[in-house]
A and B are shown apart, each in its own frame.
Chain A
Amino acid sequence: MAVLNALIEAAGLEKTYPARDRKGTAFRAVAGVDFQVHRGEAFGFLGPNGAGKSSTMRMLAGVSAPTAGTLRILGLDPVADGRRVRARLGVVPQDDSLDTQLTVEENLLVYGLYFGLSRRAVRARAGELLEFARLEDKAGERVEHLSGGMRRRLTIARALINEPEILLLDEPTTGLDPQARHVLWDRLFRLKQDGVTLILTTHYMDEAEQLCDRLVVMDKGLIADEGSPRELIERHVTREVLELRFPPGEHEEVGRKLGDQVEVLPDRLLWYADDGEQALAQATEAGVRPLTALVRRTGLEDVFLRLTGRSLTD
């Protein structure tokens, strides 16, 4: 009974921001999207900047009323029952928004008070959360002295203070170094094991492949496609891809020569084929002499380029 398990149901969801002044024009950030999120899954919104991911997340967080369509979160209307919905959500905003003047512990305290927890309850929970975020020895440290990775982990710990059923993460690892990203992914994976439903936006393909059971690719306020990473790859691209690089300016010309199976990007050509080596042999036969040639397995990045390629170039 998938319907019973749907924690979040969106149908025809739209968000239009009114014009800022009389000269401005209204901006439709989300142009009608449908999706469902089920209990316990990790669901991703993938898309280029301006695709409408963050606007969708704000509606899911119960702080932005949809302009049109319906949205049910935990069976409730996030506008009419905003308070009850938000009490059961955890939100990790893109920019942390921690109070850098306060200590790690104080940040958890004030946030816990927002949820109506007692000081004693927050203190008890803070120990667990700091351990989870691997910040046990930083409790009394001011946030301004923490690294970016530590701040992000603290923001996640803070979002867990009310034991949320759903955790919303807006670009959770943007700006972090590789080690910090892996630590964070590990923590998020643990949360998922504990049954927390994760909803995240990202424009990192490896992150989406690592974390998401299911994802939607958004572009220009619409959903371009939906599925598991594997399904999307099988649906939109071949098993392998041949990457060819040429001196600047020659891409267009070679692209014309090789025909429709080739995608021309600013820095390289992509030739999608089930057998990449064979494609390379064909190219060599056709007299093409690339600077470098690389055959690799296709991934979500290729799906992303296929589905949103046009808007990447502007």
Chain B
Amino acid sequence: MAFRALAYWLVRYRRTWRGTIVVSVANPILFLLAIGAGLGTLVEGTVEGASYLAFFAPGLLAAATLQNAFVEAGFKVNSALRRERIYSTAAATPLEPGHILAGHLMFITLRLMLSAAAFVVVMALFGLTGSVGVALAVTLAATLTGLAFAAPLAAWAVTVSDFPQLNTVFRFVVMPMYLFSGTFFSVTQLPGPLRAVAYALPLWHGVDLCRALALGTATPGTSLLHAGYLTLCCVAGVLVARVTFRRCLHA
């Protein structure tokens, strides 16, 4: 049943996939050129044992996936319920709210994975991924990071009746997390209390996981801890979303 809901998103994506791939490739090229290779030359020496570009790229990947997750699971889930009424159309058929949720989350996973893969291809062009295995691992880590946000975001966005509220959360929750989760600089530079906050942010776990895998410094212990934390966010999000989707689609 969930695959029927996924089929809708795929038919729709057939119209737009070319454009999204271009954006997914062009964005990281611009960012890595401007900040990694440009601004990064001002950084003397190494950060956590790597060149600034090599340090920055996997962090940006994780943060960019968060942004994608917000667009796909925040704005688009809200619009699918309120503006475009995609959900209510599907709810009039044998599909249950849980199927509609699962179908959309599957599509979001696919989108996040494609964007992450495009990013990793760009990293490879800059010579920042060691092997195909590393590239794959980083892609999966970034996708997991995105899902850790997408599921809870979907659970919340479906309940939002006031669209500007989404922008507010983007500005005051997503952006600070984007800036202070070790994307642009090592969180070890933060003063003690702030560092503790950063360690609790899901994005830091995603950033550190992607970075350690890309730089080849990953240890099984920390990788499992990161992946476990992200999986927990994702599972919790799905469980809450199952409730909020039912409440909003079968009001």
Query: 21 interchain pairs (CB within 8 A)?
Result: A58-B251, A63-B91, A64-B250, A82-B96, A83-B94, A87-B94, A93-B88, A93-B92, A97-B86, A99-B86, A109-B11, A110-B7, A110-B8, A110-B12, A111-B89, A113-B4, A113-B8, A114-B4, A114-B94, A116-B94, A162-B93
B61 at the interface (CB under 8 A from A): no
* Complex Cα spacing A280 to B95, Å: 60
Complex CA–CA separation, A17 to B91 (angstroms) = 19
Contact of B92 (CB < 8 Å), options: A17, A61, A84, A106:
A61
* Min distance, Cβ A106 to any Cβ of chain B, angstroms: 6
Would A83 and B96 be within 8 Å (CB), given that A64-B250, A64-B251, A102-B15 are in contact?
yes
**Contact, CB under 8 Å: A97 / B89:** yes
B residues neighboring A (CB under 8 Å): 4-5, 7-8, 11-12, 15, 84-86, 88-96, 249-251
Q: Which residue of A lies closest to B87 (CB)?
A: A97
Interface check A101, CB cutoff 8 A: yes
The answer to whether A114 and B90 have CB atoms under 8 Å apart is: yes
Q: Please name the 8 residue pairs, one residue from A and one from B, whose CB atoms are nearest each other, closest first.
A: A97-B85, A114-B93, A91-B92, A110-B8, A83-B94, A87-B94, A97-B89, A113-B7
Q: A64-B250, A97-B85, A106-B11 are in contact. List 6 more A-B contacts (CB 8 A).
A: A63-B92, A63-B250, A82-B96, A97-B86, A114-B4, A115-B94
Q: Are A102 and B11 in contact (CB under 8 A)?
A: yes
Task: Assess the A111–B93 pair: CB atoms within 8 A.
Answer: yes
Pair A63/B249 contact, Cβ less than 8 Å: yes
Mark interface residues in A116-135 (1 if CB within 8 Å of B CB, else 0): 10000000000000000000
**Residue interface mask A69-101, B partner, CB < 8 A = 1:** 000000000000011101101010101010101
Judged by a CB distance under 8 angstroms, whether A65 is at the interface is yes
**Size of the chain A interface, CB-CB below 8 angstroms:** 28
- A83 vs B95: C-alpha distance when bound (angstroms): 7
CB-CB < 8 A to B89: which residues of A? 93, 97, 111
Closest to B3 in A: A113
On chain B, the residues within 8 Å of A17 by CB distance are: 251
Q: What are the residues of chain B within 8 A of A83 when measuring CB–CB? A: 94, 96
Give the nearest-CB partner of B161 in chain A.
Answer: A20
Q: Determine the distance from Cα of A84 to Cα of B94 in the docked complex, in whole angstroms.
A: 7
A114 pairs with B85, CB closer than 8 A: no
When the two chains form the complex, which single residue of A84, A86, A102, A116 contacts B4, counting CB atoms closer than 8 Å?
A116
B249 — which chain A residues lie within 8 A by C-beta?
63
Q: Give the distance to chain B from A200, nearest Cβ to Cβ, in Å.
A: 15
User: Residue of B at shortest CB range from A162?
Assistant: B93
Whole-angstrom distance between the Cβ of A52 and the nearest chain B Cβ: 14
Q: Chain B contacts of A63 at CB under 8 A? A: 88, 91-92, 249-251
